[in-house]
Amino acid sequence: MQAKIKIIKVLIKNIFFEVVLMEKLYEDSETGCCPRFDPLPWDEKEVSFEGKLFLKDKIKTFLHIPINFGAIMVKDMELIKNFEALAPKPLMLYDSKSLFGADIYIEISKEIPGKETTKIPGKFLSKVFEGNFKDSGKWAEQMQKYAESKGKNPEKMYFFYTTCPKCAEHYGKNYVVIFTKI
């Protein structure tokens, strides 16, 4: 059991630490990496992503644990920066599709030739959570209950990891926003 826990901890660390290899993307933020996240505009709101364009990519997972998240983020963010398609504020939606795969949607400001892009239609309820990523399952349950308490029938959930682990440590908060389609 200890060996399994150790492997999971290593995998979780690897999810994000490769992101540190990227050049500074949001240079006017305190860290030069992730801007400080303000939870108020996102907490317990009804939102739409209308007009937003997203680069779509695939993440390999093992039992819902991302394996190559960091490498994909580095590759995609460098591509986005090279095409000058960086969104003014970062928005990345994680969709855990199966035990062995997930999709990541990164907001971009314009099309990138040769890359899959998409729009995400519909209305969503959002709720902000703070804490360790290991609580994601508990947060998803809370989000389900929140949507139901609003008389909504939740269809699909996306997770917005607002900062990389290094920036979360710097800011002293690890915010995650969950969006559920209604």
Is residue 75 in some structural domain?
A: yes
Q: What is the pLDDT of residue 26?
A: 56
CB distance 96 to 139 below 8 Å: no
Q: Please, which pLDDT band fits residue 24 given cuts at 50, 70 and 90?
A: low
Is residue 17 in some structural domain?
A: yes
Q: Please, which pLDDT band fits residue 29 given cuts at 50, 70 and 90?
A: low
Is residue 179 in some structural domain?
A: no
* Mean pLDDT rounded to a whole number for the chain: 86
Mean pLDDT over 7-23 rounds to 47
Is residue 80 in some structural domain?
A: yes
Domain holding 28, by residue range, is 2-121+159-166
Q: What is the pLDDT of residue 10?
A: 46
Please count the structural domains in the chain: 1
Partners of 160 in the β-ladder = 177
Mean pLDDT over 65-89 rounds to 89
Is residue 180 in some structural domain?
A: no
Is residue 146 in some structural domain?
A: no
Backbone φ/ψ region at 150: left (φ over 0), alpha (ψ -120 to 50), beta: alpha
Whose CA is closest to 25, among 34, 17, 38, 37?
34
Q: Is the pLDDT of residue 111 over 80?
A: yes
Task: State pLDDT tens for residues 30-61.
Answer: 787 888 999 999 999 999 999 999 999 999 99
Tokens standing for 73? 């983020």
Is residue 172 in some structural domain?
A: no
Strands (E) across the chain are located at 45-48, 53-62, 65-66, 92-98, 101-108, 117-118, 123-130, 157-161, 175-181
